[in-house]
Amino acid sequence: MQKPKIVKAKIVAETALFRIERLDLEFSNGVTAQYERMLGSERGAVLIVPMLDDDTVLLIREYAAGLHRYELALPKGKIEKDEDILVAANREIQEEVGYASNKLTHVNSLTLAPGYSGHTTHIVLATDLYTSTAEGDEPEEIEVVPWSIRELDALLMRDDFSEARSIAALYVIRDRLSR
């Protein structure tokens, strides 16, 4: 299919976290429409699956402002300008879980609500971990929660584990590791 032509693009709202762009589009059949989308950062973000051993994944418990509660999830963070995906992943796990990795693998990339959001998250598997810390930008210490990847079903039943990117990444990694 032929993508619609962007006739006009304009930023209509901007905060420290979000930019909303209005698009005036013309489709190949002549129909015009207006769409709005949230623009993601240019580089996207990393979501890391740090495996302490063949069975143990390191989750974090941190405050989730969108839900105003503490959530279990995988460590994640923004990729800085001119930063490689794997370098960003190693930096984030040092900041959030206190480990670095000798072996990082970019497994896949996910989008969130691509109908209106341009955010991309890159899933990175981190193995061969060793203790290493780096100062991050978190306002409080993050709790690290080791979890057996074989107990994924029990994790999904928890009220405090609902982040879709973490759920998808754990299924992808569990299947990859079981091969």
The residue ranges of DSSP E strands in 27-155, in sequence order, are: 32-39, 45-50, 56-64, 69-73, 76-78, 99-111, 120-131, 143-148
Residues 13, 89: one domain? no
Residues 28, 68: one domain? no
Residues 67, 154: one domain? yes
Burial tier of 178 (Cβ tally within 10 Å: 0-12, 13-18, 19+)? exposed
* DSSP letter string, 51-66: BSSSSEEEEEEEEETT
Residues 21, 51: one domain? no
Q: Which amino acid is it at 57?
A: V
Q: Is the pLDDT of residue 138 over 90?
A: no
Q: Tokens in use for 173?
A: 């990694």
Residues 165, 101: one domain? yes
Count of domains observed in the chain: 2
Residues 107, 122: one domain? yes
Q: Render pLDDT for 143-161 as a digit per residue (tens, 0 to 9).
A: 999 999 999 999 999 999 9
Q: Provide the 3-class DSSP secondary structure of residue 157.
A: coil
Residue partners of 89: CB distance under 8 A and separation at least 6? 46, 48, 101, 104, 122, 124, 126
Residues 26, 67: one domain? no
Residues 86, 174: one domain? yes
Query: What CATH number has the domain bearing residue 145?
Result: 3.90.79.10
Domain span at residue 54?
Answer: 45-178
Q: Render pLDDT for 15-57 as a digit per residue (tens, 0 to 9).
A: 887 899 999 999 999 999 999 999 877 789 999 999 999 999 9
Rounded to two decimals, the pTM is 0.92
Residues 52, 107: one domain? yes
Residues 21, 71: one domain? no
Q: Provide the 3-class DSSP secondary structure of residue 158.
A: coil
